[in-house]
Amino acid sequence: MDLREALQNRTLIGDGAMGTLLYSYGIDRCFEELNLSHSEEVLNVHRAYVNAGADVIQTNTYGANYIKLERYGLQDQVKEINTAAVKLAKQAAGENQYVVGTIGGVRGARKQAISTEEIKRSFREQLYCLLFEQVDGLLLETFYDLEELTTVLKIARKETELPIIAQVSMHEAGVLQDGTPLPDALKQLEGLGADVVGVNCRLGPYHTIQSLEEVPLPEKAVLSAYPNASLPAYQDGRLVYPTDPAYFQKSAQSLYEQGARLIGGCCGTTPEHIEAIAARVKGRSPIQDKVVPIKEKAEVRVSETKDDRPHLHEKAKKGRSIIVELDPPKKLKTERFLEGAKALHEAGVDSVTLADNSLASPRISNTAMASIIKQQYGVDPLVHIACRDRNLLGLQSHLMGLHALGIRQLLAVTGDPTKIGDFPGATSVYDLNSFDLIHYIKQMNKGISFSGKNLGESTSFSVAAAFNPNVRNLNRAVGRLEKKIKYGADYFISQPVFNEKQIIEVYEATKHIDAPIYIGIMPLTSARNAEFLHNEVPGITLAPEVLEKMELAGSDKEQAQAEGISISKSLIDTALDLFNGIYLITPFLRYEMTVELTNYIKQQTAERERKMANGIHIV
């Protein structure tokens, strides 16, 4: 009898965790490779689940794809591992068991880390291996990213008529990490040809039941549920799942009542859990009707920020806009920094930008300093956020805190690695990169957390992205801009440029991009400063003529600073004709230099407007 037909007539029992049992045997390595090196242990696990009452046995191939096996140097053994896995599962299964080929999700929180094309190639390779061994069906499980699951489901449905089970995983009950409600996701999977749609992993029975309460019975497909044993506890350096199998038996009844026709277990479950499920619901006729309570849609309140000033990208689209970077101090004295912020605000800059421990060197928290200058001087601060120092939990918490402080302007950057900074032995986190961070900030602007949970209120962040024109291949750098726009970037802030020709080249290469670009200009302070920037700071390249001019200024500090200002004014003259946004970078807290340049920009802008007005009047 076909698996689909069996599910029409009775409730089937799935198996439980493979890795949990293997780990309990003291095996801590690539579990899929064990199909080759420790086949007897894998076979024993399958047999244990068959003896416990499982009707559906999944192959030990969750991570047996090129992408995941590459971590262990096993990418060339995809065929051997998958082939062995199917044979072991079939050897354990009797006439009454179905063997489904398992393929697990690849993406986590970082969508950008693995391209769709890579996923397709890897999936096809594993799929063909499983189909060649004539499995009874396919199990696509633990997919947090709905886009990834729909992509591979389309491929699988095109390649085979076998039954397909498609299961999503959730961080929060009832909703996927992109905010898609579970009922909508399962309906979409059903529409793409999945025969069984459901959930597995991450959540224990309680939240799995809670999630399914909102899911109506599918029109064509049937429901499945493979919850974890519980939420894990951390004991003696290990994650353990303390759930009593008796609780699982009780939960199986509730899952059955929510319409699940295929019920198994995921992380932390053992043959004892599966035996408990089988004792309660195995073979029972599936429910045919289900009443889904009408649930009021949770409202997402629009941010009630009192700051009605336009965002920086809005200003730069309409006219001249000036932002100035003033990095927080490396020491605890803040007087000079606060003097500079006040002076720049009085000079009329649109925002003071604050880097997030640039070059991986610790400074006073830019959030703290941004909050102070906002409260004391009315500055609209632009806060940089680096992915280097915070994990997913810390990044979301940080963004929520910025929202609570009324800070709306952000620059999302990946961040310099710690090995180049003051603490080369410190850990660089990089749960996300700048592309992913932009995406998640924009998700919060919809009132959705990183995990898909309703935040109750939408944030109102304007998101800038970094642009480095100081590269050999400018077109490639522009390609990154275009990609960042797709992820949600509102505008760009460039690394400093140091010659007029380069400004023109940047304009020509980016003039097709609608998002504003703030062109970076940083006044030099000495010949040594110029040499250091040119030779040692990543992403900055000075033209030979600029280095020569600073060298000619000699050791006279005032003359060198005047030369640096002169070079910057020349660059500004060119930039004003091509870009609305000007980004000034203050060197060494010498805010007098950027105040002078701010005044110069305003004077030149006013002069240009006057000439334009006169020209129009004459015509």
Binding residues for Zn(2+): 201, 266-267
Please list the alpha-helical segments (H only) found in 382-472: 392-404, 434-444
Question: Binding site, residues?
Answer: 201, 266-267
Contact 160, 130 (CB under 8 A): no
Tokens of 169: 């995983």
Classify burial at 440, counting beta carbons within 10 Å of its beta carbon; exposed 0-12, middle 13-18, buried 19 or more: buried
SS3 for 404? helix
164: β partners: 138
The string over 156-178, giving b where at least 16 C-beta atoms fall within 10 Å of a residue's C-beta and e elsewhere, is bbeebebbbbbbbbbbbbbbbbb
Residue 247, CB-side half-sphere exposure with 13 Å CA sphere: 13
Segments in 497-583 forming alpha helices (H): 500-510, 527-536, 544-552, 557-576
Backbone torsions φ then ψ of 410, nearest 5 degrees: -130, 150
Question: What size, in residues, is the chain?
Answer: 619
Helix or strand or coil: residue 351?
strand
Q: Are the C-beta atoms of 50 and 44 separated by less than 8 Å? A: no
Hunting for tokens 């080929």 — which residue is that? Answer: 101
Backbone angles phi, psi at 210, to 5 degrees: -60, -40
Query: In angstroms, what CA-CA distances link 61 with 147, 150, 163, 315, 572?
Result: 21, 20, 17, 53, 60
